[in-house]
Amino acid sequence: MQEKLFEKISVIFSYNAEKNTAIPYKIRWRLCDYFIKKLAYHHKVREGRELLHIFHVSDGNLDFRIRFNTEDLNWILEEVSDGSSY
């Protein structure tokens, strides 16, 4: 299953200065909480002058592609998938 979305979500983000890691800790989507266990990939992209941070994360069951817009400080869920072919 792979679903492309464009929905605002709530995110708790954690930054650890000692380990120099920055990773979403928890996301709330459609009133459900998902605790992030794995940051699979992070990259930045520019849309015009806007800088977006894209995080590919997993809670152990689902993979999420979420983006943080540094211009308006919004979090958007762009994709949810579970690694199955349907």
**Nearest CB to other proteins, comparing residues 30 and 46:** 46
User: Minimal distance in Å, beta carbon 64 to other proteins?
Assistant: 10
Q: Is 5 exposed, middle or buried (0-12, 13-18, 19+ CB in 10 A)?
A: middle
- Listed residue (68, 54, 52, 58) closest to 9, CA to CA: 68
Residues in touch with other proteins (CB under 8 A):
2, 38, 40-41, 43-45, 47-50, 54, 56, 58, 62-63, 65, 81-85
**Nearest CB to other proteins, comparing residues 31 and 85:** 85
